[in-house]
Amino acid sequence: MSRAMLLSLGLVLGLSVGTLRAGDDAQEALADKAIATFKEYAGVLESVKDKASAEAAKPKLEAINKKIKEIEAEGKKLGEPNEAIKKKLEESMGPAVGAVLKEMGRISENKELTEILGSTLSGGDEKAPAPSAAPEGGMK
């Protein structure tokens, strides 16, 4: 193999490794963004206690829903994350998503709050049904 071919091969391999590393960095950044977004979502839901706080939270939740859709689209473009990033997501997203689900359950027990937030709690999809209020006595 000639020296020029070796240099070319080295350059191609170096660029390939650099691209993979950049892809890993992009996946890592996206994972961090997703985790932060779900924590933010949970925090906004935690602030919902009454009609006024639900009305104040609605535009914040709508903005977060938009961010989540952007994260999903970016994730589809980047493809499957590596195992380390998957593990990070599992470890960090579990508690964040759990907090979101807990707060959604609490809010769904209050008909007034559910009516205000409506489709916002289902990701902003007007066609999706809003979570219904729990029966008298709350969820068991």
User: What local confidence, expressed as pLDDT, does residue 115 receive?
Assistant: 94
pLDDT at 133 over 70: no
- State which residues form the domain around 82: 38-121
In a domain, 130, yes or no: no
- Name every residue whose Cβ is closer than 8 Å to that of residue 37 and which is 6 or more positions away in sequence: 64, 67, 68, 71
In a domain, 101, yes or no: yes
Comparing 20-24, 107-111, 125-129, the range with the smallest average pLDDT is: 125-129
Indicate the pTM of the whole model: 0.70
- pLDDT tens for residues 21-65? 446 788 889 989 999 999 999 999 999 999 999 999 999 999 999
Look up residue 47 and give its two tokens.
């602030």
Query: What is the count of structural domains for the chain?
Result: 1
Q: For the chain, what is the mean pLDDT?
A: 76
* Cα–Cα distance for residue pair 89/12, rounded to 1 Å: 31
In a domain, 92, yes or no: yes
In a domain, 3, yes or no: no
